[in-house]
Amino acid sequence: MTLTLAKNQSISLEKTAGSSLKNVSLGLGWDPVKARGFIGRLLGGGSDEIDLDASCIMLDANKKSMDLVWFRQLQSRDGSITHSGDNRTGEGDGDDETINVKLDKLPAAAQFLVFTVNSFTGQTFEKVENATCRIVDAGNNKELARFNLSEKGRHTGIVMACLARTDTGWNFTAIGEVTNGRTADDLVALAVSAVRA
């Protein structure tokens, strides 16, 4: 049974997985809001494409940005984090974008990985439904936890979640801070302030 996290709730990935983890992936899925009823479809309120972008900001213990993985840089400089590529529609089932992390290959100085999502085209989350992020053990494809990004509004970005290195492994925290910004660069300051050291 999948564990669904509430905002600001944390879990130990090792305890949840039942073993030490080497590779995890964060999947982001969403759907465009569908027009309701005949009149809505007639007036062109159909399923517009929604271009959401998942990103990962690598921070050190002082919360200084070390690297950024996003649609303009699909791999961290050290190769430990890779992005599946840009999905510009949200169509289809399952994860629309995925960020893979080789935990055992991360630089020793990497303390936090903050995952964000933003609307590059500036469409607000009023136009998005079924948005969710999930953390998966990439070794066996087992979903460890998910966090529903259900808060609708005129925001264009969300600081979704954070992986934090601890003495015993990695903790995953659902954050859910809404903001405005078209790219991951716009969300770095909020991502830093949202991390609980």
Beta carbons within 10 angstroms of residue 61's beta carbon: 11
Gap between the Cα atoms of 187 and 117, Å rounded: 9
Residue 1, domain member (yes or no): no
Residue 110, domain member (yes or no): yes
pLDDT tens across 87-138, in order? Answer: 555 455 668 899 999 999 999 999 999 999 999 888 899 988 889 999 999 9
Q: What is the structure's pLDDT at 54?
A: 93
Residue 83, domain member (yes or no): yes
Q: What is the structure's pLDDT at 43?
A: 46
pLDDT tens across 155-194, in order? Answer: 999 999 999 999 989 999 999 999 998 888 888 998 999 9
Q: What is the CATH number of the domain that holds 181?
A: 2.60.60.30
Q: How does DSSP assign 37-80, residue by residue?
A: HHHHHHTT-S-----EEEEEEEE-TT--EEEEEBTTB-B-TTSS
pLDDT tens across 65-81, in order? Answer: 999 999 999 999 999 99
Top pLDDT among 46 and 63 is at: 63
Does 37 have pLDDT greater than 60? no
Residue 2, domain member (yes or no): no
Instruction: Give which of 112, 99, 98 is closest to 63, Cα–Cα.
Output: 112
Gap between the Cα atoms of 150 and 145, Å rounded: 16
Q: What is the structure's pLDDT at 36?
A: 55
Does 44 have pLDDT greater than 70? no
End-to-end CA distance of the chain: 29
Q: What is the structure's pLDDT at 185?
A: 87
Identity of residue 147: F
| Total number of domains constituting the chain | 1
Domain encompassing residue 179:
10-194
Sort strands 112-119 and 169-179 into parallel, antiparallel or unpaired.
Answer: unpaired
Q: How confident is the model at residue 48 (pLDDT cuts 50, 70, 90)?
A: low
What's the mean pLDDT in 31-51?
Answer: 61
Residue 143, domain member (yes or no): yes
Q: What is the structure's pLDDT at 13?
A: 92
Residue 51, domain member (yes or no): yes
Residue 4, domain member (yes or no): no
Q: What is the structure's pLDDT at 134?
A: 94
What's the mean pLDDT in 11-17?
Answer: 91
Q: How confident is the model at residue 35 (pLDDT cuts 50, 70, 90)?
A: low
